[in-house]
Structures are given as C-alpha cells and as structure tokens.
C-alpha cells in the first residue's frame, strides 16, 4: 500500500501540545493545506484523524477530488494528559525535569495523566495494519498529526526509540511511504 501522509496546518493553539484537543485550523492553516494539495497525488482514498484540524480539510478535499473519505480514530495525536494545551516554554518553567525526561526518552517517560508512547505506537500501527488489509492495492492519503507522522517516519528510517522526537515534520508537509505486506515501512 502506498501511504501519503499529510500533517494538518496551523491551528489557533499553534506551538502548544495539542494532543487530543479538538482545535480548528486557522485561515493560514487552511491555506497551507490547500497549497500542499494543489497537485493531488492520485489518491484513491482519503483517511483522516477525526479531530477537526484534520477531518474538516479531509472532507473538503474529498469532495473536491471526488475521493471517498473515512475517519480513523487510531490516527489521533498522542494524548498529552495534563500537558495538553500547554506551551513547552511554560512547562519548562514549572515541570523542567519531567519535560526534559520526556524529550530525552519519550518511551520511558509519560506526560502526567497522558498516553504512554508505547500505547500510542500500538494504536497507530494497528490502524495502519487495518488500513493495509482493507486498501492493500490503493494509494491512500492519511491526514493526521505530527506525532503520528514522526512515529511512522522513525520506523521507516529505522531510528532508535530515543530519537522519535528528533524527527521534524512541518505543518502541511506531505511524505510518501510504502507499507510492505510484512508491515515494513519505507520512505519513498
């Protein structure tokens, strides 16, 4: 299965740890997404996180291209617990040790009240496996979040778990992957 990943554009809470907060795209975010998709990728299906910063654009794009759209809860961003909606600079003032531990080893340190990165990884990969079973021969556009894309890129690049948060993904960035039948991801 060919998977093209598209990160959502700018939101009202840009720069904060949004996680499961359901904030919408700003006007600039809509423009970023539309520019990113000016040259469509011959997608046969669009699958989106159900959070509105992804799903609203997926609905618009699907209608414009006459491509079926479905929502996949497994593609939601990591839930940051008590850190949701907080800016890293603010967290550094009040929770410097915990935040530094998370940046250093995201698999070993879970934000207070948040989702463990290992559980997030299982959720995302299970969703990708399910999509591959349903759409094995199709080219699918996944509209999702920075954390989901970082996770998939880190796996495709064979990075150690500690380097997960070092993977950079810009707003409205498109990335093409191939998922092989054995589950291996390859960046194209």
Q: Kindly list the distances between the CA atom of residue 123 and the CA atoms of 8, 39, 75, 126, in Å, as whole numbers in the listed order.
A: 19, 30, 8, 5
| Residue 96, in any domain of the structure | no
Cβ neighbors of 16 (< 8 A, separation 6 or more) are 85, 86, 87
Contact 7, 29 (CB under 8 A): no
How is residue 5 written in tokens?
A: 């990943």
| Residue 98, in any domain of the structure | no
| Residue 93, in any domain of the structure | no
| Residue 102, in any domain of the structure | no
| Residue 145, in any domain of the structure | yes
Using DSSP's 3-state secondary structure scheme, residue 67 falls into: coil
| Count of domains observed in the chain | 1
| Residue 100, in any domain of the structure | no
- In 8-39, which positions are buried (b, 16+ CB within 10 angstroms) versus exposed (e)? bbbbebeebbbbebebebbeebbebbeebbee
Tell me the residue range of the domain where 65 lies.
2-80+121-187
State how far the Cα of 56 lies from the Cα of 30, in Å rounded to an integer: 10
Span 125-183, pLDDT tens digits: 999 999 999 999 899 999 999 999 999 999 999 999 999 999 999 999 999 999 999 99
| CATH number of the domain bearing residue 180 | 3.40.50.1240
The yes-or-no verdict on residue 14 having pLDDT over 90 is no
The yes-or-no verdict on residue 20 having pLDDT over 90 is yes
The yes-or-no verdict on residue 40 having pLDDT over 90 is no
**Structure pTM?**
0.96
């Amino acid at each position: 299965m060919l998977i093209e990943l598209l990160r959502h554009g700018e939101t009202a809470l840009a720069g904060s740890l949004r996680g499961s907060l359901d904030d919408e795209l700003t006007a600039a975010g809509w423009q970023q997404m539309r520019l990113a998709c000016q040259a469509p990728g011959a997608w046969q299906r669009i699958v989106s996180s159900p959070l509105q910063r992804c799903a609203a654009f997926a609905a618009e794009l699907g209608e414009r291209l006459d491509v079926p759209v479905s929502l996949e809860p497994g593609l939601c961003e990591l839930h940051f617990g008590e850190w949701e909606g907080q800016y890293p600079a603010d967290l550094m003032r009040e929770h410097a040790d915990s935040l530094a531990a998370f940046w250093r080893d995201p698999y070993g340190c879970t934000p207070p009240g948040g989702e463990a990165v290992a559980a997030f990884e299982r959720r995302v990969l299970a969703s990708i496996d399910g999509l591959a079973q349903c759409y094995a021969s199709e080219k699918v556009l996944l509209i999702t979040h920075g954390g989901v894309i970082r996770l998939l890129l880190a796996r495709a690049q064979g990075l150690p778990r500690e380097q997960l948060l070092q993977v950079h993904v810009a707003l409205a960035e498109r990335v093409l992957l191939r998922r092989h039948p054995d589950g291996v991801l390859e960046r194209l």
